[in-house]
Amino acid sequence: MSVTASQVQGAVQTLTQSSDTLFLLLGAIMVFLMHAGFAFLEVGTVRQKNQVNALVKIIADFGISAIAYFFIGYWVAYGGTFLADANTLSQGNGYELVKFFFLLTFAAAIPAIVSGGIAERARFYPVLIATFFTVGLVYPLFEGIIWNGNFGVQAWFESQFGAGFHDFAGSVVVHGVGGWIALVAVLFLGMRKGRVRAGKHTNFAPSNIPFLALGAWILCVGWFGFNVMSAQTLNGISGLVAMNSLMAMAGGIVAALIAGKNDPGFIHNGPLAGLVAVCAGSDLMHPIGALVTGLIAGALFVYLFTYLQNKTKIDDVLGVWPLHGLCGAWGGIAAGIFGQSALGGLGGVSLSVQILGTLMGISVALVGAVLVYGAIHKASGLRLSEEDEFNGADLAIHKISATNME
């Protein structure tokens, strides 16, 4: 039996579609696993009386995020819905469904980031309501502008500066937006009780360094799915992205090791700072540029987190604003610096646009967060009572502690 050219072409197309679907599904699973990293990083950092709450918040936030993004967020960002019949949705090996899953894991990172900043004193259900609106409206508004060309902003950048805003894997779109939203939430909540004693700042020690380290390791491993698989197809995969992620991570570790003076909390957050910063330009930079990006991000996190905890009233428990907000903003700008061909990058990026796009992301995050958290703060309040905060969120909210005290 002879095989026609059209049959061969059809078989190749089916194989390509199924391979791309599997590739993106594996990426979605890797980024989904990162949420366990967020959970254990928070569990290890907060005091023991708030560990259960940390675990429950992350998984509950993911559930709310999935619903908000399915019905609202994905439509806001990409104009697509999933209201067709299952036969239509499953066409092309269900690639569009897996793409939704992959992008959902990015969207759900927003409340996971916020959770670390507001830990130990936030009410449970008001925070879940905030999650619904930030994932359903605030985050996808900027996501659609950058990754789908909504409102003609990218087209204007290209016409005026010769290049659009480049954010390959979300330094600004995901991490920057999440970090700046967290800052607003932290400011509304105020400082934890006992942080200032006799006019001096007191820092609460992490409750479990092994859990903190486990969370950091899970995030580091999953990040290669976050960055590399942002190509979304096998044809688009690049070893350069993997190498740049690795080098930025190493830079963050070394910088945090030195600047943090052997502190295990800083050392395990250092690689995360580097990885946040390299997301935007990981497909453009030379590996040495990625290394420098990670070095700067690691030092930036250590010094700013130390300053916030000791000199200001910004009580950001896990340091998510410096880690995601500021290092994410640095990543957007770094792509415009180290992505230039003159510095060994692939070019096709404008520093002016990278600065403008980063500022736009920060603005959307701040305005959106003020509206969402401000409204909830006025309507129901965001903070636990003083008694509940003293007893801990585990007993106050979930009626159980992390360890059996019998």
DSSP string, 78-141: HS----S-HHHHTGGGGHHHHHHHHHHHHHTHHHHHHHHHSTTTB-HHHHHHHHHHIIIIIHHH
The rounded distance, in Å, linking the Cα atoms of 376 and 379 is 5
pLDDT at residue 104, rounded to an integer: 98
Q: From the CB of residue 97, how many other CB atoms can be counted at a distance below 10 Å?
A: 18
Contacts (Cβ under 8 Å, ≥6 apart) of 106: 31, 143, 170, 173, 174, 226
The token duo for 349 is 């990026």
Q: Which pLDDT tens digit goes with each residue over 274-291?
A: 999 999 999 999 999 999
Model confidence at 10, pLDDT cuts 50, 70, 90, reads confident
- Report whether 279 contacts 177 (CB < 8 A): no
What region, left, alpha or beta, does residue 197 occupy, with left being phi > 0 and alpha being psi -120 to 50 degrees? beta
* Residue 406: per-residue pLDDT: 46
- Cα 405 to Cα 266, 400, 401, 402: the distances in Å are 31, 10, 8, 9
Each residue's pLDDT tens digit, 23-43: 999 999 999 999 999 999 999
Burial class (CB in 10 A: 0-12, 13-18, 19+), 82: middle
Domain boundaries, the chain: 11-398
Do 280 and 335 form a contact (C-beta atoms < 8 A)?
Answer: yes
Rounded to the nearest integer, the mean pLDDT of the chain is: 95
Per residue in 199-209, pLDDT (tens digit) is: 788 889 999 99
Q: Across residues 292-314, what is the average pLDDT?
A: 95
Nearest Cα to Cα of residue 116 among 404, 272, 316, 324: 316
* One-letter amino acid for residue 43 of the chain: V
pLDDT of the residue at 3: 67
Provide the whole-model pTM: 0.95
Q: How confident is the model at residue 101 (pLDDT cuts 50, 70, 90)?
A: very high
For position 56, what pLDDT does the model report?
98
* Tokens matching residue 98: 């897996």
Give kind and range of the element (H or E) at residue 200: strand 200-201
Mean pLDDT of 328-334: 98
Task: Please tell me the CATH code under which domain 11-398 is placed.
Answer: 1.10.3430.10
66-75: average pLDDT = 98
Give the model's pLDDT for residue 340: 97
Q: How many CA atoms lie within 13 A of 211 on its CB side?
A: 20
CA-based Rg of the chain, rounded to a whole angstrom?
21
